[in-house]
A = this chain, B = another copy of it.
C-alpha cells in the first residue's frame, strides 16, 4: 500500500537530473510513502570526479557510469524516464518534455552545470571542456592524436606545437588533467614512439589567480605546485588567457603579453548552470546569479514555490556563511538527502530546520602518487593523501554499482604505469581515412569532431 489516505493518489515527487543530487534524493525517497519519477536525458549516472581519467585513457566511460535503472531497480516506488525537461509550469504543477507533461506534487531540480567560456563561446572549438562522457572521449582523442601527429611531423616547430599541451584553469580538474598528461608523456608512452621523444612534451597549467587549487589552504596549493613541477608540469599562476584561436593561445602575465603555439588546449576554467535555471527564473520570477544558478531559500525551495526545490550545481545556496556553496558532489548529495527528508517530514505535517552543509573537506589528486587533502582541522599531502583520495573515491564509486573493476584497473595501472584505454575512435576517423587527406595520413584535424569511444 502506497496511499496513506484511501482514494487519495500518493504524493508525486518528480526529480529532474540523475547526477549526485537527484540520485541521492531518489535513493532517500525509495522507501517513503510517495511516488517518484526521475527524469534524465541520459540512461546512466556519471561519476564526474573521475572523468579526467577517461579523458587521459586510464579507464573506460562504463567504469564510472551506472545505469540509472539498475541503481534504482529495487526502489519499487520509482520510475525512471529517459527524456529532457524543457519547461515547467509552477501554477499547474507540471513538468513538460516536448509535448508530454507530467504533474508533480513536489519537484526537485538537479540538472547541474556545464563548462562555460565566460562569453567566449568561440573558444570551445579549440579548447574543449570536460563535463560529459562525450567531452572526455573528445579530449582523449585530441591528446592521443597529438602524439601521433608529432610522430609524423618533420617540421620541428610544428612538432613542438603538437607536443605542447595547455590546460586552462588550475582548479581540481585542471590539476588532475595536467598531472595525468605529464605522466602519459614522461612515463606511460616513453617507449612507444620511434621519431619523437615524448618526454620533450610540454604540459602548461595556466591559472588566473596567484596559485593553483585556490579553494584550498595556501600551503596545500604550494605542495600541489611542487608535486606538479616534479611531474614535469609547468605551472603558470597569475596568467590570464586573452584569446584562443586555432593553435595559438594568447596570454597576459602582469603587463606582459605572450603567445603559445599548442595543438591541444583543454578547458578547465569555469562552469555555468544548466539552462533550466533561466527557464525557471522566467516562469517563477525567482532570481539567478551570474553563473545562472538559482538563488534558493534556506530550505532549498523557491520563494513563493515551496514545493519546488533546486539542488546541486544548479543552486546558489548562500545561507551558511554568505558565500554560495561550491559545485562539488558532497554538496549535491547532502542537498538531495535533505530535500528528501524535508518532503517526508512535510507529509507528516512537520518541517525541518534549514539545510546545513557539513564540509568533510576537499581533495585533489596530482598524478599517480600524490594528492592534497584539506579536512579543515587537518591538511596533508603526498602518498598518504593519495591513498586517502583513492579510498574516498572507491567508496563512493562502488556505492550504487559495485565497480570493483575500477579498483583493480587502478591497482594494475599503478604498478605497471599503463593506460589501457587509449583508443582513438569514431566514424569520422574511418571516413576521413577513406577519403584520405593531402598526405594520406590521419590528421587530428580530420578527426577533430569525433567524439566516440
Residues of A within 8 A of B (CB): 41-44, 59-63, 65-67, 69-70, 73-74, 79-84, 86, 96-100, 132-134, 137, 144, 148, 151-152, 189, 191-194, 401-405, 408-409, 412, 416, 418, 420-427, 429-430, 433-434, 436-442, 451-453
Q: Is the CB of B97 within 8 A of A430?
A: no
- Give every chain B residue within 8 A of A451 (Cβ-Cβ): 426-427, 452
Neighbour of A137 across the interface among B412, B442, B452, CB < 8 A: B452
| Smallest CB separation, A420 vs chain B (Å) | 6
- Give every chain B residue within 8 A of A83 (Cβ-Cβ): 440-442
Q: Is the CB of B418 within 8 A of A70?
A: yes
| Smallest CB separation, A330 vs chain B (Å) | 24
- Give every chain B residue within 8 A of A61 (Cβ-Cβ): 60, 423, 425, 453
In the complex where A43-B144, A420-B66 touch, is A425 in contact with B133 (Cβ < 8 A)?
Answer: yes
- Give every chain B residue within 8 A of A402 (Cβ-Cβ): 412, 416
Q: Is the CB of B440 within 8 A of A96?
A: yes
Instruction: Tell me the bound Cα distance from A421 to B63 in angstroms.
Output: 7
Q: Is the CB of B44 within 8 A of A433?
A: no
For the complex of A and B, the 10 pairs showing the least CB-CB separation, nearest first, are A98-B440, A453-B453, A60-B60, A97-B440, A62-B421, A69-B192, A84-B433, A73-B191, A98-B436, A452-B452
Neighbour of A97 across the interface among B425, B439, B453, CB < 8 A: B439
| Smallest CB separation, A15 vs chain B (Å) | 15
- The listed residue with most B CB atoms (<10 A of its CB), out of A44, A96, A194, A418, is A194
